[in-house]
Structure 1
Amino acid sequence: MLAMQYRFVLPADYDMAIIRQRIRERGHLLDGFPHLEWKAYLWSAHDVRQPDTLNTYAPLYLWQDNEGINQFLASPGFQALCADFGRPQIDIWSVWHCSGSAEMAAAAHCHQQTLPIAPGQSLQALRQQEQALATALHRQGALCVLSAFDPHQWRLLRLSAWPASPDDRQLETSTACYQIGYVASKRG
């Protein structure tokens, strides 16, 4: 499996209702897309009370294989996205673990971390740590947990999806918090 993500950081005064409407109108179009496990339409809004928050549109895809990625990137839908926002840089990750895919559609909020993998770090040990962390996050109420790595830039991707925004959870500064506008899936 492969995870794929692109991200658009929008101006602080951008009306995020435009993004939410785009998701409502077009999100379902990827239901049943070949080789797609799910696509989470992630977005965040700038909050003047928290200066480090951004207006962001950052969809994350879980693909069964690279054929799905190839079909999607050649599709009219992706071409429309590029026409509206410009061609994005796309990150592709090799998935180590994804649990709770069937529950992803019930998620409303997610936390995402992208962390460097230190030189000399054992990938096997890191993979085992991620598996243990996934188990712990599920016990805390996460619906879906994904971990993957990028061997090109030696980065770890960790995503946990939740039924609601967990206000009382202590988050590391490297954690991006997103709302989930819709989850397209192979089941449609």
Structure 2
Amino acid sequence: MHVMQYEITLPADYDMRIVHRRIATRGHLLDDHPGLGLKAYLVRERGRDGSPVNQYAPFYLWRTAEGMNSFLWGSGFRGLAADFGRPAVRHWLGAGLRRGPAVEGAPAAATRRAERLAEDADPAEAVERALAELPDHPDLHTAAVAVDPDRWELLRFALWRTTAPDGVSGTRYRVHHLSSPELDRLPAGRHW
């Protein structure tokens, strides 16, 4: 599994209805994209859910590198870059996945938490701990753990049926659409 996200931070007075319209009219274009586990169309709006910024921040779980490459080098990403400028694309190696009880529904919220691993930390132990801590909650849609081995950053991501439960830390997003053509083909559990 390959994990990818780019964040487009927009001006404080940006009309977020433009982003909402973009998602409403184009979100379905990846509903059957080969190699895509899921794409969550994530949005943060200044002053909502504690967000200090307006941001469009799509998040991807790719089943295949070919699927990811065909998106990045194809018309999908080109269109985004033409409209917003080319953002930096973050990429992590997938370490594990959990499907929750709410996986059949449409998620409304997401959380993402990234942390740098201490230089003396054993990365394998940190990943095992993060996998063991994946949420087991009735509102959980999907949760994933990933690692950026260049920065030694551990990433926890979760999609939620309504809102993130109390006690779940991290950046909070609203999910405006979910494309999940091959989510059922991503292996659950740890990925090694």
- Normalising by structure 2, what TM-score? 0.87
CA distance in 2 between counterparts of 1:69 and 1:113 reads 22
Q: Secondary structure at the match of 1:143?
A: strand
Q: In structure 2, what is the equivalent of residue 157 of structure 1?
A: 155
Does residue 139 of the first structure (1) align with residue 137 of the second (2)? yes
CA distance in 1 between counterparts of 2:177 and 2:168 reads 23
Q: In structure 1, what is the equivalent of residue 53 of structure 2?
A: 54
Does residue 184 of the first structure (1) align with residue 173 of the second (2)? no
| Cα contact 1:113–1:159 (8 A) shared by 2 | yes
Q: In structure 2, what is the equivalent of residue 170 of structure 1?
A: 167
Deviations 1:111-148 (A, max 9, x none): 111111111211221121112111xx123632211110
CA distance in 2 between counterparts of 1:150 and 1:8 reads 20
- The farther-off stretch of 79-88 and 118-127 is 118-127
4+ runs deviating over 4 angstroms = none
Deviations 1:64-114 (A, max 9, x none): 121112111111121110000001101111001111188175211011111
| Cα contact 1:98–1:146 (8 A) shared by 2 | yes
CA distance in 1 between counterparts of 2:34 and 2:48 reads 40
> Alignment RMSD, CA only?
2.1
Report how many aligned residue pairs link the two structures.
Answer: 182
CA distance in 1 between counterparts of 2:8 and 2:25 reads 19
Q: Where does 1:1-188 land on structure 2 (aligned, <5 Å)?
A: 1-47=1-47, 50=50, 53-100=52-99, 103=103, 106-134=106-134, 137-139=135-137, 141-166=139-164, 169-172=166-169, 175-186=170-181
Identity value in percent: 35
CA distance in 2 between counterparts of 1:48 and 1:31 reads 28
Structure 1 residue 48: Cα displacement? 7.7
- Normalising by structure 1, what TM-score? 0.89
The structure with more helix, counted as a fraction of residues:
1
CA distance in 2 between counterparts of 1:164 and 1:3 reads 23
Unmatched 5+ stretches in structure 1: none
